[in-house]
Amino acid sequence: MQITDLPFNLHIDLQIDKNGDGDEVFLRQQQCLLNHVGSLHASVIHALAEGASGHYLILNLLPLFPESTVLVRKASIQYKRPAMQECSAKAIVDPAALQTCIDTLNRRSRTIFKIPVHVMCEDKIIATAEIDWWLQVPK
């Protein structure tokens, strides 16, 4: 599965950065995604951040726990400036936090994993987010 396979992400045309190392997702600006001032709508930026965190899980946790259930439990986002061009987003996770998550899943079979995300436009951070994922693996 890829994050781009989900119906909502297909609807907004969320893409995986295939030119880089594949750990970023991006959105092209489309008329249907703009707000009243001509920038990307806040909810679309939020969806991009959530997509980046889900993409991180697919790359880093689902190979280890393919039968796991993952759901967003909580999300917060801070918008810093309007997004007037194509935007990208990337999860910024400390490797130690990933290892703690893996260890907890192996020990308890469920956990909450907080994934910080930076949303970029024209090499500037336009938003920062933290997506809390609830993960459970079968025993």
pLDDT in tens, 127-139: 999 999 999 999 8
Identify the structural domains of the chain with CATH numbers, from first to last: 3-136 (3.10.129.10)
pLDDT value at position 18?
67
Helix (H) or strand (E) holding 54: helix 42-60
Burial of 55 (0-12, 13-18, 19+ CB in 10 A): buried
How sure is the predictor about 1, in pLDDT bands with cuts at 50, 70 and 90? Answer: confident
How sure is the predictor about 98, in pLDDT bands with cuts at 50, 70 and 90? Answer: very high
Torsion from C-alpha of 6, 94, 41, 120, nearest 10 degrees: -110
Supply the pTM of this predicted model: 0.94
